Chain A
Amino acid sequence: MDLQWALYIAVAAGALFTVLSRDPRRQVLVFGLYGVLLSMLFIALHAPDVALSELAVGSVALPFVIVVTLMKTRGPQA
């Protein structure tokens, strides 16, 4: 139960930091970390299928799509 509470607080903090990151490229990385924390929360809540889905989508697919969209709309910056 303590692990669940710790992960709840960590997920809330991760969401807060994701929203407070103003630069989109930095926000994508913070969002990836938030996805990992959320996946750990799902494991602690005895939902491993959801945790696997969240890991695959939130760490790879979603940051990939966001980065490509950023590059497409803002031009090839470093």
Chain B
Amino acid sequence: MNTHVRSALLAVSLSCFALILGWAFLTLPQYAESLHAGEQRVLAHAVRAGGATNLDAFVNFDYRGLDTMGEEFIMFAAVAGLALVLRASRGELEHGETAPVEDRKPPPPGLLIRWIGPIGCAAIAVFGFYVILHGQLTPGGGFQGGAITASGLLLLYLAFGEQPFQDEMTVDRLDPGEAVGVVGYVLVGLSALASGSLFLHNLLSKQPLGQLYSGGTIFVLNFLVGIAVTFGFLTIFSEYLKEMRLSKQPSADE
């Protein structure tokens, strides 16, 4: 199968796809004007009994908390697999921490980033905590706030250099942090089982709508997901930075 046949096949399949996609776009209902019966019932139930104004978070953590638990485990498995592969290839699993090998000497951080880095990181971290804790009220939630917080902490790597960053983000601080988030989610669900309800049933009382604790267990689950996601992202950043540390000349490997 040479290039011309492949290009012809691609043109045919792309044009069919474009036709079907265009037809689908034209027959879509007008945006945000029609609600299905199921969506209307979820809306009514959410505001009246769920206690959350961020319906996305309500559906994710109260209605379908089990699916969100699966997503948490997906992220945990991805980070664990990444850490396993990279740490094994560096030989850290048998011998503990490898000795840092510095082949490249990056220039020391300038004055501006050394000042703006910590200040910006503090501001971003506070905003990230706000997004995590207000998941049931305003847009955001555990995953978004965790990603924002971890990205803010990456500013410290820019400001202070790699070695201080790695000295703080050690393996025995990051691994338990992520485990706390994931295991805590399961424990909250199990505590609902222990009191006689369904798994992950929303147990806690619903304060007046709009308050911080109005979502019941949505608040607790958001917090745990935020912890898990923050530490998961920090593990990803830390492992990749360690990979950069050991990079030698590519001609020796290829």
Contact = CB atoms under 8 A, between A and B. Distances in A.
Interface of A: 4, 45-46, 48-49, 51-53, 56-57, 59-61, 64-65, 68, 71-76
Interface residues of B, number: 28
Contacts of B249: 75
Given A61-B151, A76-B103, 8 more contacts: A48-B139, A49-B144, A53-B144, A56-B144, A56-B147, A56-B151, A71-B247, A76-B247
19 contacts: A4-B31, A49-B56, A49-B57, A49-B141, A52-B131, A52-B139, A52-B148, A56-B144, A56-B147, A57-B147, A60-B147, A60-B154, A61-B151, A64-B154, A64-B240, A65-B240, A68-B241, A68-B243, A75-B250
Nearest to A51: B139
A59 B151 CA distance: 9
B247 A72 contact: yes
A28 to B, nearest CB: 14
B237 A53 contact: no
Nearest to B105: A76
A25 to B, nearest CB: 15
Contacts of A73: 250
Given A52-B144, A64-B237, A46 B32 contact: yes
Contacts of A68: 240-241, 243-244
B231 interface: no
Contacts of B103: 76
